[in-house]
């Protein structure tokens, strides 16, 4: 699940950037940014919880899919090797 971790890490960095912007803005903008930041944090946490629940609830299916992809890649590699060997023999 590397892409999910990357997504949540990126979201965290964006929130940090907003915090930095908040420190440097005027009062009305600070209030607006602070509210938006709180909303983003809630959304990120909810999304992360939902993703973790989805991953746990579908662990077997996700593992089956990953295994199928691995098997398919092995089949493709073998087919490619056979095809290139035939080309070399010609």
Same domain, residue pair 81 and 46? no
**Which of the pair, 75 or 86, is modelled with greater confidence?**
75
Using DSSP's 3-state secondary structure scheme, residue 3 falls into helix
Instruction: Supply 2's token pair.
Output: 């590397």
- Same domain membership, residue 64 and residue 51: no
Do residues 37 and 22 lie in contact, with contact meaning Cβ atoms separated by under 8 Å? yes
Question: How many angstroms separate the CA atoms of 74 and 65, rounded?
Answer: 14
Q: How confident is the model over 78-88, as pLDDT tens digits?
A: 999 998 887 77
CB 44 within 8 A of CB 51: no
Same domain, 30 and 64: no
Does pTM top 0.75 for this prediction? no
Looking at the structure, do residues 46 and 82 belong to the same domain, yes or no? no
Please check whether residues 50 and 10 belong to one and the same domain.
yes
Give the range of the structural domain holding residue 44, as residue numbers without chain letter.
1-57
Number of H helices, E strands in the chain: 3, 0
Q: What average pLDDT is seen over the chain?
A: 87
Angle of CA points 39, 42, 45, to nearest 5°: 150
Q: Is the same domain home to 49 and 67?
A: no
Question: Which range, 13-22, 33-42, 49-58, has the best average confidence (pLDDT)?
Answer: 49-58
* Same domain flag for 39 and 68: no
Domain count, the chain: 2
């Amino acid at each position: 699940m590397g892409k999910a971790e990357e997504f949540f890490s990126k979201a965290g960095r964006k929130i940090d950037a907003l915090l930095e912007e908040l420190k440097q803005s005027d009062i009305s903008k600070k209030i607006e940014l602070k509210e938006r930041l709180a909303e983003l944090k809630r959304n990120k946490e909810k999304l992360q919880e939902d993703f973790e629940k989805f991953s746990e609830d579908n662990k077997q299916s996700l593992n089956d899919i990953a295994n199928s992809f691995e098997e398919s890649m092995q089949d493709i590699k073998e087919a490619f090797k056979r095809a290139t060997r035939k080309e070399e023999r010609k």
